[in-house]
Amino acid sequence: MKLNYFIQLLMTTLVLAGVFIFNSCQSISGSGNPKFANDSMVANFDYFTYKGNDDFYNNNPLPGDDYYYNPILPGWYSDPSVCTNGKDYFLVTSTFSYFPGVPIFHSTDMLNWKQIGNVLNRPEQLPLDGQGISRGIFAPAISYNPHNETYYMITTNMQGGNFLVKTQDPFGDWSDPIWLPDVHGIDPSLFFDENGKAYIVNNDEPDGGSTYEGHRAIRGIEYDVETDKTVGESIMLVNGGVRLSEKPIWIEGPHLYKFNGSYYLMCAEGGTSVDHREVIFKSDAPFGNYVPWDKNPILTQKHLNPNRELPVTCAGHADIIQKDNGQWWSVFLACRPIDNKFENLGRETFMMPIRWSRDGFPYMTKNDEVVPRIIRMEGVKRDSSVPFGNFEKNDDFNTTELGMEWLTIRGDAAGLYNLNENPGFLTLKCAEVTTNELKVPAFVGRRLQHHKFESTTKMYFTPGSETESAGMVLMKNEEHQYLLVVEKVNGQKAVRVKMLSDTAIEVIGSETINAEDEPVRLKITSNGTEFSFYYAVDDKDWKLLADKVDASYLSTARAGGFTGTTIGMYASGKKIEFIQ
């Protein structure tokens, strides 16, 4: 009796062990590769690498350890805003329809910045359903209120309106959204006065409505920090811009400050393209009569020779701050186009010192001054973790959570990716969603941060049908993408390069591969103006699949929008469809 019992127990143990081995990604086959369960509905990525190799950094080494490169946050870290508690500095930027939202960076010296998290890291903080890539979260502004030792981040969700979140620990989680139904338009910013009162300034319609295309106003309303509600009526502070007679367009991104007893209202003007500029007004009261400086703009590159070497363009949307040593600095967005034609990096975060005029106005550039690419910050030593210059990032997916550089689209993609199912791999589900839909795809990507780069991944994937595909994607928006994918074509496994538009997919490179159970390595390189796409079966040599592919197709100049390009991994179980 006991013998039969132990035989039965042994047989059950062996069966269970066999099931475990079959389903374990770490079971090793004879080829030395991981053996995955026979599940064609997922793709497993072993690693992802990204390496920048821009000529500027190679040819212009920093002259000392107290110098830095502009931009300080390369890639589309746009609409920067900064605050301080007197010792620590915190900086946030826009994320539009990517998740998580609003990366937050910390520094103790304004030179060495490190991302410490994302302000909007929970789905309930960030409803993005159905929004295009360039909608979602616009222009976050971060402020510190010394009266209650609380940090505030206020912003616009293009689908829900204006809201703020707050915390007393910016290294931790932030509150759920506090919606502001009486603050309309976009780009709100909070200001805390010395007497404890708080005010919101924002872009909105002028009194009586707009009279020309791009005619906007800056409005202000009081905010009660005790009830977290606005007080009174919204008041128009600036109509149109510096000179209404010239019909200025898109005044936005306002920030309110108080220096030496006077109130300063600083705003962007001219739109986000090459006419972008920063302007400033002065008043003796928070909602008083704001008079523009007669030497505006205080920052712009719009009038400079477009054929200049290494141009920085579109400069504006600034925020300014005083360091604990008394120095004044600004952060702002700008672009680095190639030959002043296009770029795929989007609007990046730059930083430069503030100067003060004799009549008491701060400014960054005047006359024909250019935004410098190399700047010295005396008294500060650059450390090895700075997020600029040529660098290499490698992720082997050996953690239980994605690193802070990774993004998904329109939500947290819960259930579509997994780091724990097959430890050491990023597993993506072949979801019934494609990259051109306004839904949450199985996509995990990061920003492009260099004109010249190389990015690789190693993928285990066996498509079970001709609707399943997985690989890498260069994503500008829903209608401008390049895809390097493995899929089934006429019953055979193939690797292909595709160009996605709003009406069709064009195959620009395709090869059948004999690699049913072997991994496929994928590589994308860029020289700034062109992409090249490669593949390799297992550890064999790279094969060029498509060369000299036009990079401008993903640029803002061609595709529009407010973001730069992301690169990453994705999977889909659905054939891309187009609405005619």
The catalytic residues are 79, 252
Q: What angle do CA 82, 88, 91 make, to 5 degrees?
A: 25
Q: % helix / strand / coil in the chain, to the nearest 5?
A: 5, 45, 50
For residues 211 and 222, the answer to whether their CB atoms sit within 8 Å is no
For residues 102 and 122, the answer to whether their CB atoms sit within 8 Å is no
Q: What is the 3-state secondary structure (H, E, C) of 353-410?
A: ECEECCCCCEECCCCCCCCCCEEECCCCCCCCCCCCCCCEEEECCCCCCCCCCCEEEC
Measured CA to CA in angstroms, residue 327 lies from 321, 330, 404 at distances of 9, 10, 31
Amino acid at the residue 53:
N
d(CA 453, CA 443): 20
Q: What angle do CA 190, 176, 117 make, to 5 degrees?
A: 80
**27-28 and 161-167 beta bridge pairing:** unpaired
Name 25's Cβ contacts closer than 8 Å, sequence gap at least 6: 34, 35, 36, 37, 44, 421, 422, 423, 424, 425
For residues 301 and 288, the answer to whether their CB atoms sit within 8 Å is no
* Chain centroid offset of residue 517 CA: 36
d(CA 549, CA 528): 11
Which string of DSSP letters, residue by residue, matches 407-459?
BEESS--BTTEESSSSTTSEEEE--S--TTSSS--EEEEEE---SEEEEEEEE
d(CA 443, CA 263): 46
Q: For residue 160, which of 118, 126, 119, 120 has the smallest C-alpha distance? A: 126
Neighbours of 292 (CB within 10 A): 18
d(CA 448, CA 346): 9
Provide the greatest CA pair distance for the chain: 102
In the block, which residue shows the tokens 């890639």?
A: 75
d(CA 276, CA 59): 29
For residues 193 and 259, the answer to whether their CB atoms sit within 8 Å is no
For residues 343 and 39, the answer to whether their CB atoms sit within 8 Å is no
User: Any long-range contacts for 88-95 (C-beta under 8 Å, 24+ apart)?
Assistant: 89/321, 90/142, 90/144, 90/151, 90/170, 91/142, 91/331, 91/349, 92/119, 92/140, 92/141, 92/142, 92/153, 93/140, 93/349, 94/137, 94/138, 94/139, 94/140, 94/562, 95/120, 95/136, 95/137, 95/407
d(CA 188, CA 175): 18
